[in-house]
Amino acid sequence: MNLRRLWAIARKEALHIRRDPRSLGLAIGIPMLMITLFGYALTLDVDRVPLVVWDQSQTPASRDYLAQFTHSRYFHLQGMVDRYAALERAIDNRTAWVALIIPTDFASKLAAADSPGVQAIVDGSDSNTASIILGYIQGITLGFNQRLALEQLRRATGTKLQPLLDLRARVWFNPDLESRNYIIPGIIAVVMGLIAALLTSLTVAREWERGTMEQLISTPVKPAELILGKLLPYFVIGMVDVLIALVMALFLFHVPLRGSVPLLLLVSACFIIGTLAQGILISTLARQQLLASQLAMVSTFLPAFLLSGFTFAIANMPVPVQVVTYIVPARYFVALVKGIFLRGVGLEAMWPDALFLLCFAVIVAGLAIKRFKKRLA
């Protein structure tokens, strides 16, 4: 390999990028825009759930039970209703996601230890959210029941009783359970993969469309020099995008970074090289820029978004789909970024993921070079 020829190709590609400021602006601006949109718009937190109540009892006991909901950050009381039709209308027009119906005999049955029935109606159009809301309702009701039971025992025995089990839960790595801390590192991986593949998938295809590939073929430039020379300027852009994403995560979204920044940049470099090489491989297969960009989107963004564990837990997927996720590089990069950001672990715990990214970069770059050799032949 001749470094002088490689540098000449890299300089040629860099000049093309500089003469097309709109493409450069998109390469920098699109990651910033996507991270901002996903960071603010995409959330897995379920709190301040709109709630309406039909309190048929209107007693201190029913108000005490209702206070467990209104004093919780998970529910937001939208109002009280006095008939079933109003409650039904509130759920139909999405004014409320949950409705509680407290019966007229609530207080009397509580006093007689007769377990009054409280109806909770939950909008199940979003099954995941509905299951979380049901968990909130059951937890609040269980706590209310335990408090009443302990109070009744205290009155009967005259002694203050304590629960037999004192559970002291502690959440590591994300103690406030902020979904933003989980989403931002994952979306960085998804966005970087998409942008890197899109940038390079158009390079060789553009050369074929413009008729300049024949001029490159007639020169002494070798396939490896051409591929690596085209990859180098976009690698610099990709690392700039990583640095911008890192700054946004730390200072805009306040995501804690507990691990090593050099390690994060190193694994990001491996991922970007592999994805850039994947884009070049796509561009050697498709001579049209439109087809190349579509293939890049299908082969990077969709697998990264759906099969990397960023949006959906891999353990909950069907077994055949779980097997497919092992060939998705974003799966390993998402695990690495989250491990470095949130858990602060190093290569001693995540070396298999890092090794896969390194092998992926080497193999895909080799395939791109080999495929281009066939084109020359």
Beta-ladder partners of 119: 101
Contact of 65 with 143, CB cutoff 8 Å: no
Can you tell me the distance from the alpha carbon of 226 to that of 232, in angstroms, rounded to the nearest whole number?
Answer: 10
DSSP letter string over 287-317? Answer: -SHHHHHHHHIIIIIHHHHHHSSSSS-GGGS
CA dihedral 266, 271, 273, 279 (to 10 degrees): -160
| pLDDT confidence band for 101 (50 / 70 / 90) | very high
CATH 3.40.1710.10 for domain 49-157, yes or no, is: yes
Can you tell me the distance from the alpha carbon of 208 to that of 353, in angstroms, rounded to the nearest whole number?
Answer: 36
| pLDDT confidence band for 76 (50 / 70 / 90) | very high
Q: What is the pLDDT of residue 358?
A: 93
Q: What is the pLDDT of residue 163?
A: 65
Most confident of 9-23, 109-123, 125-139, 352-366: 352-366
Q: What is the pLDDT of residue 152?
A: 76
Break the chain into its structural domains and give their ranges: 3-43+178-376, 49-157
* pLDDT (average), residues 285-304: 81
Q: What is the pLDDT of residue 161?
A: 66
Contact of 200 with 206, CB cutoff 8 Å: no
Residue 374 has pLDDT above 60, yes or no: no
- The vertex-354 CA angle with 351 and 359, nearest 5°, equals 120
Residue-wise pLDDT for 252-265, tens only, equals 888 888 889 999 99
Sign of CA dihedral 323, 327, 328, 331: positive
Residue-wise pLDDT for 182-202, tens only, equals 888 888 888 888 788 877 877
Beta-ladder partners of 184: none
Please give the mean pLDDT across all residues of the chain: 84
